[in-house]
C-alpha cells in the first residue's frame, strides 16, 4: 500500500464493521476497502515498525554528533497520528512523541497535532490512548496558534469546558480568537465568561510562581 493510503486506514474500524455486518464484498471492493480488510493488521504493524526504525535511526544519528533528535516534521507527526489511531499498534512511542516532540505554535507539525486533538476532543476520532479530556489538556500546552480554535469550541461542551477554561486562561496568543470568546460570553456561555474574567485579572501572569527576592550564585 502507499504510505498515505495505509495511514488513512490503519485502525479504521469501518472496514471491520462492514465485514461483521456481512456487507457484500463487491460493495467493499467498489469502495476500495476490500483489499485492506484481510491484511490490515499485518500492514499496519509493518508501517509501525518502519516508522520506529526510521525515527530510531534519526535519534542515533543525532546522538553521534551530540545533539538531541529534531522535533517532528509534519510527515512524522502524521505518521504518529496514524499509529495512535491504530488499536493494533504499540503506540507508547507515538504517544510520547505527540506529547513532547511537536513544536507549539504554528509549525506545520503543530497543525497536524492540533487537528488530531481537535477531532478527538469533539468525538470525531476515537483512540484508546487519548480521551476527550486529555486532548484538551494537550491542546492547552501548545501555547497559541492552531490549538486556540478547538479550545474555544470546547467551551460549548460541558464535559471538557472546565479544562478549556483552564487552558485558555493561560493563553495570551489569542489574536482575533479573543473576540470569539467574547461573543460566547455575550451569548450567555458561563465558561467563556470565566475566561474573560481571568484575562481581565491577568490570571495567566499571577498564576505563575513568585519571583524570589534575590538569587544567590
- The stretch 165-191 carries a mean pLDDT of 95
Range scoring the smallest mean pLDDT among 60-69, 87-96, 119-128, 152-161:
87-96
Q: Is residue 179 part of a domain?
A: yes
Q: Are 179 and 187 in contact (CB under 8 A)?
A: no
- pLDDT-based confidence at residue 95 (cuts at 50, 70, 90): very high
Q: Is residue 106 part of a domain?
A: yes
For 34-65, b/e burial (b = at least 16 CB within 10 A) is bebbeebbebbeebbeebbeebeeeeeeeeee
Q: Is residue 191 part of a domain?
A: yes
Query: Domains in the chain: how many in total?
Result: 1
pLDDT digits (tens, 9 = 90+) for 48-75: 778 888 999 999 999 999 999 999 999 9
Paired strand residues for 144: 173
Q: Which residue has the cell 502507499?
A: 2
Q: Is residue 78 part of a domain?
A: yes
Average pLDDT, the chain: 82
Nearest to 163 by CA among 120, 103, 116, 109: 120
Q: Is residue 203 part of a domain?
A: yes
Q: Which domain holds residue 175?
A: 43-207
Q: What is the CATH number of the domain that holds 63?
A: 1.25.40.310
Q: Is residue 121 part of a domain?
A: yes
Q: Is residue 10 part of a domain?
A: no
Q: Is residue 216 part of a domain?
A: no
- The stretch 77-91 carries a mean pLDDT of 87
Amino acid at each position: 500500500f502507499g504510505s498515505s493510503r495505509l495511514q488513512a486506514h490503519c485502525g479504521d474500524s469501518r472496514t471491520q464493521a462492514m465485514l461483521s455486518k456481512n456487507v457484500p464484498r463487491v460493495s467493499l471492493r467498489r469502495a476500495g476497502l476490500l483489499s485492506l480488510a484481510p491484511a490490515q493488521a499485518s500492514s499496519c504493524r509493518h508501517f509501525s515498525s518502519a516508522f520506529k526504525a526510521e525515527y530510531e535511526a534519526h535519534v542515533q544519528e543525532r546522538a553521534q554528533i551530540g545533539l538531541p533528535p529534531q522535533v517532528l516534521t509534519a510527515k512524522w507527526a502524521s505518521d504518529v497520528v496514524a499509529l495512535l489511531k491504530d488499536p493494533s499498534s504499540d503506540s507508547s512511542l507515538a504517544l510520547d512523541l505527540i506529547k513532547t516532540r511537536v513544536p507549539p505554535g504554528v509549525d506545520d507539525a503543530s497543525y497536524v497535532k492540533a487537528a488530531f486533538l481537535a477531532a478527538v476532543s469533539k468525538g470525531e476520532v476515537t483512540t484508546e490512548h487519548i480521551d476527550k479530556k486529555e486532548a484538551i489538556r494537550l491542546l492547552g500546552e501548545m501555547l497559541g496558534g492552531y490549538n486556540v480554535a478547538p479550545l474555544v469550541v470546547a467551551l460549548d461542551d460541558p464535559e471538557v469546558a472546565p479544562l478549556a477554561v483552564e487552558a485558555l486562561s493561560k493563553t495570551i496568543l489569542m489574536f482575533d480568537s479573543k473576540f470569539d470568546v467574547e461573543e460566547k460570553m455575550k451569548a450567555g456561555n458561563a465558561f467563556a465568561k470565566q475566561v474573560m474574567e481571568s484575562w481581565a485579572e491577568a490570571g495567566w501572569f499571577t498564576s505563575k510562581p513568585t519571583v524570589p527576592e534575590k538569587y544567590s550564585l
